Amino acid sequence: MSNEFSKNASELLTNIRDKGPLVWNFSNFVSMDIAANALLSIGASPAMAHAKEEAKDFSQICKTINGALTINIGTFDPYWQECALEAAKHANENNIPWVLDPVGAGASGFRNKNVEQLIKFKPTILRGNGSEIMAVAGLSGGGKGVDSTSTSNDAVDSAISIAKKNKIIVAVTGAIDYVTDGHVTYAVEGGNEMMTKVTATGCALTCLIGAAIAVGNNKLLSTASIIGIYDLAGEMASKVSRGPGSLRMNLLDKLYNISSDEIISNVKIKNV
């Protein structure tokens, strides 16, 4: 059903394809391939650059051409931690929009420390599953590594709390996705459960959010819109897939081929 939200999502995709924004990613080892290919499929330009020595240069490039940064803590070690902190610092200093993905938050003290340090540099968007968002809020989310044992519905209050406290936007993804700045909250419906059987689909979404906030002026609505597009692509891809292997391929194909008409007719975003 067409509405202003789905029309905005269609316009966002057109902007991404027209502008081809650079998205500089600190992605984890598991997700680098699908994340980079998802960005290319949707029309953005990925840079998977993790060296601390390159942080200043890439931040200047992003500042000059209106790019974005994403940081994913999934396979951090102490050196990657230093590199990510350097990148976040430069992004903050240069007003570069950036996304923090707190993979596995709550599973270890090291991960929690990474999130605590990185969030001080004011990510534009914090994106995680229910357990991760609840862990970031200081609640017992019952996480098991990178999997969520808490639903997105369970984590809405935590997302709103984090958003208000840190003056950032929080996206909590699950069966229903929620995006909030602490005052306005959007719910996004779509996707397919089979997507949870393909590793790093959430990490790829984090990078796509980077593309969205690189070109979209309204960061809250742009985040909800790209989630809606991704959910729709996953839903459509699942209908022609026999299992996770073919879903991965079909998801990338659908991100490449999805049309404005499909988005306007089928993306489901609403205020809650």
Lookup: tokens for 45: 């330009």
Q: Which residues of 133-169 are buried (b: 16+ CB within 10 A; e: fewer)?
A: bbbbbebebebeebebebebebbbebbbbbbeebebb
Give the CATH number, domain containing residue 137. Answer: 3.40.1190.20
pLDDT > 60? residue 149: no
In angstroms, the CA 121 to CA 101 distance is 14
Q: Please give the Cα distance from 217 to 12 (Å, whole number).
A: 10
Helical packing angle, 4-19 and 201-215, nearest 10°: 90
pLDDT, one tens digit per residue, over 188-234 is 999 999 999 999 999 999 999 999 999 999 999 999 999 999 999 99
- Looking at residue 150, what is its pLDDT? 63
Say what the pLDDT of residue 50 is: 94
Rounded CA separation 164/154 (Å): 18
Is a pLDDT exceeding 80 seen at residue 178?
yes
Kindly report, residue by residue over 52-74, the tens digit of the pLDDT.
999 999 999 999 999 999 999 99
* HSE toward the beta carbon, residue 238, CA cutoff 13 A: 15
pLDDT at 140 over 50: no
CA distances from 83 to 50, 51, 173, 205 (A): 7, 6, 27, 22
- Total count of domains within the chain: 1
Domain interval for residue 29: 4-271
Query: Do 67 and 24 touch, CB atoms closer than 8 A?
Result: yes
Q: What is the pLDDT of residue 90?
A: 97
Q: Which band of pLDDT confidence, cut at 50, 70 and 90, is reported for residue 84?
A: very high
Per-residue confidence (pLDDT) for residue 3, from 0 to 100: 86
For the cut 70, the answer to whether the pLDDT of residue 242 exceeds it is yes
Percent over 90 (pLDDT), the chain: 93
> SS3 helix, strand, coil % of the chain, rounded to 5?
55, 15, 30
**What φ, ψ does residue 69 adopt, rounded to 5°?**
-120, 140
Tell me the percentage of the chain whose pLDDT exceeds 70: 95
How high does pLDDT run on average in the chain? 94
* 26 close to 80: Cβ distance less than 8 angstroms: yes
Higher pLDDT, 240 or 3: 240
Q: What tokens does 61 get?
A: 């490039």
The two tokens of residue 54 are 């390159």
CA angle 241, 246, 247 (to 5 degrees): 65
